[in-house]
A = this chain, B = another copy of it.
Amino acid sequence: MDLKAKIPSPTVKRLSLYFRELGERRAVDSDATMSSRQLGDALGFSDAQVRKDLAFVGQLGHPGVGYSVTLLHDNLRRILGRDRSWEAALVGAGNIGRALLSYRRFEVQNFHITRVFDNNPATIGSTISERSVLDISELERELADAGTHLGIIAVPAQDAQAIAERLIGVGVGGILNFAPRRLEVDESVAVLNVDFSLTLEQLAFQVNLGRNDPAREGESS
């Protein structure tokens, strides 16, 4: 099975949720099995959805027995890249950047924001959540040989594209973009955008229609 085949984004989101749920179950009982129905019920998905998603990544349960929690958790960990450590560089030490730096779950999940850059002289040299803010002009020198995997862009919209290009120039393979503009990047680079105002628009749209998109489907990230 070719994992590099196109996996739909909603499936990827659900795989992350299954991984979390299995981790919690495993912590309680490492010998447990879970049926697709049990896993679905815990997260509000149908059992058919669960089976379909897991089959996508080659994980098949045993009829009448279900999935071994430990085995499926280990396999999803590997598939999702959670068995390794990820280093990220953050550009932009404003409010969003600060929120990310203080987000304790990242470390637990082996995401490490190892360097923080800003262009504001008042911010450069200051310490935020135990990281010293570096001058953006040092980006290439700092990251050239660092092997940083991910870049996080939390700068104003007009600066985002240039920062993306500089991050890609030092070998960053994935970008999490908080700037409200679309980045033009080579297709070898993965980009995920978080646009608060688009999220709020979607929420307003749902309220406007008086309909509900269940929380899990509205999962925005």
Contacts and interface: CB of A to CB of B under 8 A. Distances in A.
Interface stretch (A31-39, A67-75, A186-194): A186-194
Contact of A192 (B43, B96, B185, B218): B218
A76 to B, nearest CB: 10
Q: Interface range on chain A: under 10, 10 to 19, 20 to 34, or 35 or more? A: 35 or more
A12 interface: yes
A197 to B, nearest CB: 5
A150 interface: yes
A80 interface: yes
Nearest to A78: B208
Interface of A is mostly: mixed
* This protein's copies in its complex: 2
A145 to B, nearest CB: 19
B174 A190 contact: no
B215 A183 contact: yes
| 3 A-B pairs with the lowest CB-CB distances in the bound complex, closest first | A81-B208, A95-B99, A199-B221
Interface of A: 3-4, 6, 9-10, 12-13, 15-17, 43-44, 79-82, 84, 86, 88, 94-96, 98-100, 102-103, 105-106, 109, 111, 149-150, 173-177, 180, 182-183, 185, 187-221
